[in-house]
Amino acid sequence: MGLPKIDLPLFETKLLSTGKTVKYRPFTVKEEKILLMAQEAQEPNQVILSMRQIVTNCCEDVNVDELPMFELEYLMMQIRSKSVNNVITFNVKDEETGEDVQLELDIDEIVLHTDESHSKEIKVNDDMHLMMKYPTLDQVGIFLNYEEDPTNTAFDVMISCIDCVVNGDEVASLSEYSIEEIRDFVDTFPGGTVEELKNFFETIPSLRFETTYTNSEGNEKNLVLEGTDTFFL
């Protein structure tokens, strides 16, 4: 007689960026091992690989390679909540006393933080603007491995997030052009455009958890965790 098959429950959640309903299941021991290895390694590449594998395994009808990074982090949180519980206990080192402080993070209290200055529309001139798209897991991975050529790598990641160019009534999708054509085009931008592009990336929506605690000296401290910090504690 074979071993029995374990049926896992399915849950639903809505993606933050599109409102699309996604079905997912709790992770199994197999996926938990992947997660633990990433936590122990504390290496960005390992974190990225584990997130890709776990969300792919546990979610139905989700293309991980097309998800914005904050959406991927959100799904990871939902999966973790149903796999273990919605509370993560962790330690932080207080900068004033140097002592470890134990805190709790409630996944239900994590919110999507969006800066008021954030916009997916980047003005080039009075007639032209760019429409941006959020970086995906692969693009974040490229950015994390830019040691050999940091300037050009960051630039290529930046322009890869330009979705289309709107020039008057005409819309040109950059997916129809080669990387060389796009680079040449971006090289003609006015200087201020680069600053707006930087602001887009610096203010991208992120998952955020904020809490306060009182250290052993009786002083109240604020703690803010963002992005994968909230999951790979």
Residue 49 near residue 35, CB atoms below 8 Å: no
Same domain, 16 and 103: yes
Same domain, 98 and 172: no
Same domain, 108 and 213: yes
Same domain, 187 and 212: no
Residue 5 lies in a domain: no
CA max distance for the chain: 73
Residue 68 lies in a domain: yes
Same domain, 76 and 88: yes
Residue 220 lies in a domain: yes
Residue 13 CA, chain-centre distance (Å), reads 17
Residue 37 lies in a domain: yes
Residue 1 lies in a domain: no
Residue 17 near residue 71, CB atoms below 8 Å: yes
DSSP string, 95-141: TTT--EEEEEEEGGG-EEE--TT--SEEE-SSSEEEEE---BHHHHH
pLDDT digit string (tens) for the chain, length 233 residues: 677 777 889 999 998 888 899 999 999 988 888 888 877 777 777 888 888 899 999 999 899 888 998 899 899 889 988 988 888 888 889 999 999 999 988 888 888 888 888 999 999 999 999 999 998 887 777 666 665 666 677 788 888 899 999 999 999 999 899 988 998 999 999 988 988 998 998 899 888 888 899 999 999 999 988 876 655 55
State whether residue 148 is helix, strand or coil.
Answer: coil
Cα 74 to Cα 207: distance, rounded to the nearest angstrom:
7
Relative orientation angle of helices 44-58 and 29-41, to the nearest 10 degrees = 160
In this structure, is the dihedral angle defined by the CA atoms of residues 131, 137, 138 and 141, taken in order, positive or negative? positive
Same domain, 102 and 212: yes
Tens digits of per-residue pLDDT, 191-202? 889 889 989 988
Same domain, 106 and 61: yes
Residue 171 near residue 37, CB atoms below 8 Å: no
Nearest to 159 by CA among 185, 195, 138, 137: 185
Same domain, 106 and 219: yes
pTM of the model: 0.80
Q: How many domains does the chain have?
A: 2
Nearest to 132 by CA among 158, 167, 170, 156: 158
229 secondary structure, DSSP code: G
Neighbours of 208 (CB within 10 A): 18
Tokens (6 digits) for 132:
């941006």
CA distances from 18 to 56, 92, 101 (A): 18, 34, 38
Domain of residue 198 covers 121-202
Same domain, 105 and 210: yes
Residue 97 lies in a domain: yes
47 secondary structure, DSSP code: H
Same domain, 67 and 101: yes
Same domain, 183 and 94: no
Same domain, 20 and 91: yes
2 secondary structure, DSSP code: P
Residue 58 lies in a domain: yes
Residue 176 lies in a domain: yes
